[in-house]
Structure 1
Amino acid sequence: MPDSFVIQPRGERSAASVAEASPERLRMDPAFGPLLAHLDDAVTDVFVNGAGGLFVDRGNGAEPAEGWRASEREVRDLAVALVGLGGRHLDDQAPCVDVRLDSGIRVHAVLSPVSTTGTALSIRIPRVRAADLDTLAALGAFDASQRVWLLGLVAERANILITGGTGTGKTTLLSALLSEVPSTERIVTIEDVAELRPRHPHHVSLEARQSNLEGAGAITLARLVRESLRMRPDRLVVGECRGEEVRELLTALNTGHDGGAGTLHASGLRDVPARLEALGALAGMDAVALARQAVSAFTIVLHLDRAPGGTRRIRQAGRLVIAGDRLDIEEVQPW
């Protein structure tokens, strides 16, 4: 599910204009019952730490929810019920499960004793309508000149790598950019847990699958990237590169699949080369091969961060370069 941008007042914006920019919210399944009293429209993330407490994030970091009371047994039952909504089973044989519900809500659960503080629930709540570039601009993600530049990247079929820490809006921005792709083009997105929801009439979403209790049936991101190449995508997108799939993505983007994109966890723009090298090593790529592939694969790197007030924004842009046979990056100001 996509990261949600926090509404922040800007200039002379009225409460009405803020309301117009805010996407509508989801209706929660009754299985969320014990949590419903703590979920207002501003909540994007919910954390249950066993019987120790409930925390919610409204854009300014996790805050304890007043009045929450639950035993470890009740939290475990809640986790089992929510995971069950996603068609998965949570028990001592499968104590760690990550599922996406039909509504787009993402639920991650870890049972005790793997979680030593009791059953741990992490829930990310999306907005029903994917944000577009106009909405994100209104929320302070970028200014008018940056918006024009972003539209140019989509029109020019640039290959884009979006980086940032957890909760900085990588998926939300990528969804908004994909919503600007011409309707005549076919988008294929590949994700560990499907979260990208662009407003586009020809979007095919592929989701990885974990193995069953017998250790069979797993379908990895790397395999899905290979499968997608047989689906004639006009835009090939990997929601988040976490491992060996980076090799397949780089290969695809270097063989005529322009207009592709991916996201990557990185603390800062300068950390991106090291993160790519680490992923390349998992795929058996040495640093020299990775550098040559990455420089020709990605047109631009967009790095996002989260301002102290909660606003997600484009902080920096950079281009990957080779320095002494190793991957490096230089910051650019293209807008």
Structure 2
Amino acid sequence: MVVRRDLGIDLGTANTLVYMKGKGIVINEPSVVAMNADTGEVIKVGLEAKMMLGKTPASIVAVRPLRDGVIADYDVALAMLKYFIGKTRTSIAFFKPRVVIGVPIGITDVEKRAILEAGLEAGAARVFLIEEPMASAIGLGLDVEEPNGNMIVDIGGGTTEVAVISLGSIVVWESIRIAGDEMDEAIVQYVRETYRVAIGERTGERIKIEIGNVFPSPEYDGLETIVTGIDLSTGLPRRITIRGGEVREALMVPVNAIIDAIKTTLEKTPPELVTDIVERGIVTSGGGSLTRGMDKLIEKETGIKVVRAEDPMSSVAIGAGKVLDKVDILKKLQQVD
């Protein structure tokens, strides 16, 4: 029997998730490719490649081919897409899949074309692009096709997308290229400036995951973790203890930018839709929404309750896959075949 398994892909700056119709999320791996610096040969993709970040010899480079949610290195992104799509086709022969890829709002036509062409070249029969907040809303089961206002805040690795959705379309939106990666960098810079210790981006991400927080709380202040970096004065390794309150201070600038984007979107939203949002709440998704206290901070700054997605990391990929069954929305999507 010949089968076609259509795919929804969240081609994220930090992680790539692939949803297969009928099976759910089948791939969830870092968007990293390890390559031979001399020949360009792909050595590892995904989790194994991420483990090499900051640890490779001169002959091997670990590359993140997406920046701010769009393709920064086409050839490397294509190799990554081919690898991930290929992994979904190992068990049974079937037609090339139709693929829906989530993209940030407001990216340029050139950036869209690069993603569309990469999808086709990677083995898709047809490629559709869907804006990430719409995909996320569908993945979370919101009634996006009804005449009701739904507000979603998707805090990813490279971008934060804020959108109000009604009648199957995005009514107003804000997209900023400040999200999880900028949080990691803010922590790295804080440690450098405060302790005169250099740490890498993987360590910055670990600190964020272990004790990152954005809302004042004795519980969060009591968090701490030990990290090792290079003392900038001596050039020797040095261990330091980082506490929760310090991380909150470090994250202030990127998090305030996210709050401003939410407020700006609300200011542009028609009053009737604002009423719906107040009743339903602001829905948050994406890995950044897992930062401790993010929901409380948004509630405090907007006065609107926040509903955090049960599975915030997977919603874009799930929605991208499910949109193939929503004919009216599918007709609106940019596509190539």
Q: TM-score, normalised by structure 2?
A: 0.30
Q: TM-score, normalised by structure 1?
A: 0.30
Compare relative contact order (CA 8 Å, sep 6+) and give the higher one, 1 or 2.
2
The structure richer in helix per residue is 2
